[in-house]
């Protein structure tokens, strides 16, 4: 089983996170931000990752530190789960329809962090969640997991649907990329011999 457990405490957040990328999509999410709870719950389910997150953050300020720091910890946990990345398929992509929205994502577990982010979210907030934090979350995640991730909106006008479609599509792409290719389970998927 490829698992990780990380505790991270700063003056802004106190996070406990457990990740199992060979899981079934079981989750227990309590971030102090209802919209983020919703996104991480469906992320876990669609990736089939078991995920536990407990965060106490300075949400009296806003959700920025909570969202970014959870992205950091989830990224570190992902990198720890993958280890030397032996046998993984490495690449994954998915086009996901979410009502009127259509989101394309592609991932390369490359050892190089890059985020291509092309979402046109029409409102500044969904409920009490600042929509600009979606990019902050994924930036933190890719920097700390050392993956390349592209998120592209092909259609959509409802902010909730666009963001939810992005989290689901990323989850499906990651599910494919981290899966083990049984034919090559002892190989590192790179001509360099290392990722």
| Structural domains counted in the chain | 1
Check pLDDT > 80 for residue 4: yes
For the cut 90, the answer to whether the pLDDT of residue 185 exceeds it is: no
Task: Kindly report, residue by residue over 26-58, the tens digit of the pLDDT.
Answer: 999 999 999 999 999 999 999 999 999 999 999
- pLDDT value of residue 192: 67
| 189 inside domain | no
Is residue 195 situated within a structural domain?
no
Residue 124 has pLDDT above 80, yes or no: yes
Mean pLDDT of the chain: 96
- For 149, the enclosing helix (H) or strand (E) is strand 148-155
- Does 99 map to a domain? yes
Q: What integer pLDDT is reported at residue 188 of this predicted model?
A: 76
What is the 3-class SS of 32-67, one letter each residue? CCHHHHHHHHHHHHHHCCEEEEEEEECCCCCCHHHH
Q: What is the pLDDT of residue 42?
A: 98
Q: Quick one: pLDDT at residue 39?
A: 98
The pTM for the full model equals: 0.95
Question: Per the domain annotation, does 80 fall within a domain?
Answer: yes
Residue 141 falls within a domain, yes or no? Answer: yes
Task: Please indicate, yes or no, if residue 53 is contained in any of the structural domains.
Answer: yes
Q: Domain residues for 116?
A: 3-184
Domain membership flag for residue 194: no
| Chain segment 139-163, per-residue pLDDT in tens | 999 999 999 999 999 999 999 999 9
Contacts of 193 (CB under 8 A, 6+ apart): none
Taking CA 168 as the corner, what is the angle to CA 167 and CA 174, rounded to the nearest 5 degrees? Answer: 90
CATH number at residue 98: 3.30.230.40
Kind of pairing between the strands at 13-20 and 3-9: antiparallel
Query: Phi-psi region for residue 78, left (φ > 0), alpha (ψ -120 to 50) or beta?
Result: alpha
How much is the pLDDT for 48? 98
Q: Which two tokens stand for residue 122?
A: 């029409």
Whether residue 36 lies inside any domain: the answer is yes
**pLDDT confidence of residue 182:** 87
Look-up: residue for tokens 């009296």?
A: 60
């Amino acid at each position: 089983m490829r698992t990780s457990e990380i505790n991270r405490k700063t003056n802004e957040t106190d996070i406990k996170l457990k990740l199992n990328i060979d899981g079934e999509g079981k989750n227990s999410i309590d971030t102090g931000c209802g919209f983020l709870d919703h996104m991480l719950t469906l992320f876990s389910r669609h990736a089939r990752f078991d995920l536990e997150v407990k965060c106490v953050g300075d949400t009296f300020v806003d959700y920025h530190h909570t969202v970014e720091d959870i992205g950091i910890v989830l990224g570190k946990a992902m990198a720890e789960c993958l280890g030397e990345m032996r046998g993984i398929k490495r690449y994954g992509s998915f086009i996901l329809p979410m009502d009127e929205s259509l989101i394309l994502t592609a991932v390369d577990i490359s050892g190089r962090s890059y985020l291509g982010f092309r979402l046109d979210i029409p409102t500044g907030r969904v409920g009490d969640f600042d929509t600009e934090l979606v990019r902050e979350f994924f930036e933190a995640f890719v920097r700390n997991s050392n993956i390349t991730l592209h998120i592209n909106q092909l259609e959509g006008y409802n902010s909730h649907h666009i963001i939810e479609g992005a989290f689901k599509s990323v989850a499906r792409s990651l599910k494919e990329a981290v899966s083990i290719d049984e034919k090559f389970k002892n190989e590192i998927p790179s001509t360099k011999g290392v990722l």
